Amino acid sequence: MTDNPTPPDITSLQHSSRDLEALPAVVADWLADREPDRGGAPTVVLSDAIEKNGQSSETVAMTAAWPGAADPERLVMRLAPTAQDVPVFTEYRLDHQYEAMRLVRDLTDVPVPVVRGIEPTGSVLGVPFLVMEHIDGVIPPDVLPYTFGDNWFADAPAERRADAQRATVRTIAALHSIPDAASVFGFLDRRTPGKTPLHRQLSWLDEWYGFARDEVGPSARADRALAWLHDNVPGGAAAAEPVLCWGDARIGNVIYRDFSPVGVLDWEMAALGPREFDLAWIVFAHRVFQSITESMGLPGLPDTLREADVVATYEDATGVQVGDLRWFHVWCAVAWSAILMRVTARRIRFGELPAGADVEENLLHNPLIDELLGDAS
């Protein structure tokens, strides 16, 4: 017998109510229109390899066999969520994701997927979608979190995990080093109130968290954290210097081969803002998984993605001194609250949780909020 709690059953969360049966024929016709020189429509077959990481969109793997081609192509389709499937975000701009990925690929060596096309109107499938080329490799799993062990990342030698960590932080550094980000990626500046990109990111978080809490009710901890953010907005360089922020910068959104990034995925949260957003996010995301793992009486990976190590690698790569990350960690904590509130609402929608489920029980990072605000006045 053990006194450790049973981990929540998050191994088969439903993302969508979409019927995929008609998808291959529709996608085949769309691809044929996009690439008319290929000799006709391809035969599209959906794969069983549906992405389990992430909660914000529906991702479908497929093969497309073109007439006369020796081998089928492996493609990945991302579809915007429908309102009935309880989207995570207030809006889902696949057009922004497409353009961010295209520009990053043109301007840097950061390995973003090749996007074959986008249907931004929703006229074909009822929602916008884009199609990318598949990238071979492995991803640290979210379900169950890689910190639980029994996966390629956790079971690797510590020095190889450290190799992956350093390479990923250097990838973030490369994104942040794109010149004149405010102009090049101006379409990613939040259209919310605020005098700087940092202030607009906070206003955006206000809207997003309000959208999430309206569905399942408030969280006292997240409410307190959001109030603390408003009372402690940093100034100086953090408030004024925008870079391209990947947004969802974490190792669960990276495809690796030989512990090196070969695919940088999930650009839904891309925005202009201080570099500290991405650095706090990659550290905080690991801390969430590590905290959950330790609550189950498991060791996890306490030596992975420590803030001091991440910052040291980043500063070495960029020559830029990073500011204090505490404010940005609290921002991440409120953002995770919004995500998990929407996931809770979706689980209620699909019958995985009862109506009226206690939202606090599903905010698995609450201990981190207590830790971050423990010495706040």
* Residue 51 pLDDT: 52
Q: Give Cα 201 to chain centroid, integer Å.
A: 16
If one counts every other C-beta atom within 10 angstroms of the C-beta of residue 179, the result is 7
What are the distances in angstroms from CA 250 to CA 144, 182, 214, 323?
A: 16, 23, 28, 19
Q: Tell me: domain 23-133, CATH 3.30.200.20, correct?
A: yes
Q: Is 142 a catalytic residue?
A: no
* Residue 292 pLDDT: 95
Taking only the tens place, the pLDDT of each residue in 1-11 is: 334 444 444 44
* Residue 56 pLDDT: 54
* Residue 20 pLDDT: 80
- The residues spanned by each domain of the chain are 23-133, 146-372
Same fold, 23-133 and 146-372: no
User: How confident is the chain (377 residues) per 10-residue block, as mean pLDDT?
Assistant: 43 54 92 94 84 63 94 95 90 95 97 96 93 97 95 98 98 98 97 94 97 93 98 82 95 98 97 97 98 96 98 98 96 97 92 90 94 76
Dihedral (CA of 342, 343, 346, 348) sign: negative
**What is this structure's pTM?**
0.92
Query: Which residues does 97 contact at the CB level (< 8 Å), separation at least 6?
Result: 78, 130, 267, 268, 270
CATH topology of domain 146-372: Aminoglycoside 3'-phosphotransferase; Chain: A, domain 2 (3.90.1200)
Q: Among the options 3, 85, 231, 248, which is catalytic?
A: 248
- Amino acid identity for residue 146 in this structure: Y
Strand-pairing partners, residue 59, are 78
CA 339 to CA 358: how far, in whole Å?
Answer: 15
